[in-house]
Structures are given as structure tokens and as C-alpha cells.
Amino acid sequence: MPAKKTKTKPVRSQKKSPRRAAAAKAAASLPKATSMANLGPPSKLRGKNPERVRQILEKLDQAYPNVTCALEHRSPFELLIATILSAQCTDVRVNIVTKTLFEKYRSPSDFAHANPAELENEIRSTGFFRNKTKSIIGAAQKILKDFGGEVPRTMEELLTVPGAARKTANVVLGTAYKIASGVVVDTHVQRLSQRLDLTEHQDPKKIEQDLIKIIPQERWILFSHQLIWHGRRVCVARNPRCGECNLEKLCYSADKTVGWKLPARKAAAGR
């Protein structure tokens, strides 16, 4: 038997009202994905704006009111040695090494006359132990010969000591002598200064010059310690813990994991 033909009902064309058509056209022109990043920052303050800098310092004071250098030491000379050892090494590791090291070598004279091979083995776990051994023995000899066994108290003199570049000198002057000669720029300070848009530079010396122009001198020492602690605990290099950060509303780094942030392309263009 021939199959029965089924009648198909004609599909009615659904005409949109002018109002609905206009709404659809407007919706089509919007970005497909809308997130918090498109809604604008909680704070309109940007970059080195003095009020923004003031708020950043205030927030750091709230989170880290009494922090200081994490390197354990009993004298300016021990701090100098510990800071030399901290290059490309964590403070935790340095403190483990110096706990026994400073019991064996108790003075600049002890380090100046140390057996290089023995010292290399004792500081091996801090990395770059051969170069660090040369710097430590050289620093001890220089301090004995030119400074009467005392770590100098000026930037100019400290920079003549083997192993004491500007960062090391700032650590010693600021922590041991409470002399605000500059801002310590280590890997944490460098990263956070860039994320907070306080500098556009990569070079530590240029970053320091940017920071000393906007941070009051009486805050240089504490500010460095605060950024270092914040960099270790919250604003870590990978996957920063922005949900725990009290600076989150003042930050618009492309690295942020929550909240408003500057789109990566714009952040790159601004650098």
C-alpha cells in the first residue's frame, strides 16, 4: 500500500517587535563573556598617586606592624655574612646554615683566616658556595684591614666591601644601624612593586629610585620588610593569594586571581 502523505504545518515566521529587535541588537554588541574585570576597579586611584601610596602604606602597617629582617644575627657583621649567603637562597636555609656557622666563626678574624675548602663545604647548601666563600673571606679581610674590624656605617664605604652590593648594604645599614640609606630591592620587593604599579622598571637600581621618590624616607626600612613579608606569605610569585590580601582593592595587576585587574594586553602595553 502506498505510504500515507502527512501534511506538514507551515512554520510561522516569528517577527520580533521593534523593541525586542533593538534589545537583541544591543545584546549582540556586548562582549560574549562578562566578568568582574569588565566592571571597573574598586578604587579609581592608579600608579604612584600620593593618596594611593598612602593607602598602600596604611594597609601594610595593618598587616605587618612590627616586622623586621628574617635573617638571624647577633651583630652587624653576622648580618652582613647572612645577607651575602642569602643571594639566590631562602632566608630559612640561610638561618639553618648560620646557626652552626656562627658558632664556629665568631668574629671577622675567624672568617678572614678560614680555610676556603672547609667554608665552601659548610655553606654548600646555600648555592654558589665558591663565589660566596670568596666574598665572605674577602669581606672579613677588608673590614679588618680598612675599618678596624667594624662594619662601616655608610653606603660609600660598604660598597667597597667584597660581596656587598647595594641591596646588601641597604639591609645592613637599615637593619643593623637603623640608617635609611635606601630601599632594599630583593626579588619580593621587585615583584610587588611591579604588581602594585609603583614602578615600570626591571632593574633593581631603577626600581629603588622609583620607590624612594614616593615612599617617605622614614618608611624606607619598614616598607622593605613589609613587602618582603607580604611577598612570602600572600603575594607569592605563582598563584598569589589575592583572596587573603588586604591590598586587593588597591591592586589591578594582571597577575591577580580575584577581583578587578588590568587586562593582560593593557598591562603589557603599559610596561
238-256: pLDDT as tens digits: 999 999 999 999 999 999 9
Whether 87 and 118 share a structural domain:
yes
Range of the structural domain that residue 61 is part of: 50-67+185-270
pLDDT for the residue 171: 97
Whether 249 and 215 share a structural domain:
yes
pLDDT band at 260 (very low <50, low <70, confident <90, very high): confident
pLDDT for the residue 32: 36
pLDDT for the residue 181: 96
Whether 171 and 82 share a structural domain:
yes
Identify whether 197 is a catalytic site residue.
Answer: no
Catalytic residue (choose from 167, 255, 256, 261) = 167
Catalytic residue (choose from 186, 197, 255, 256) = 186
Identify whether 132 is a catalytic site residue.
Answer: no
**Is 19 within the bounds of a domain?**
no
| DSSP for the chain, written as a single string | -PPPPPPPPPPPP-PPPHHHHHHHHHHHTS-SS--GGGS--S----TT-HHHHHHHHHHHHHH-TT----S--SSHHHHHHHHHHTTTS-HHHHHHHHHHHHHH--SHHHHHT--HHHHHHHTGGGS-HHHHHHHHHHHHHHHHHHHTTS--SSHHHHTTSTT--HHHHHHIIIIIS----S----HHHHHHHHHTTS----SHHHHHHHHHHHS-GGGHHHHHHHHHHHHHHTS-SSS--GGG-TTGGG---TT-SSS----HHHHHHH-
Whether 168 and 230 share a structural domain:
no
Q: Select from 109, 141, 176 the last residue of a domain.
A: 176
Q: Tell me the pTM.
A: 0.79
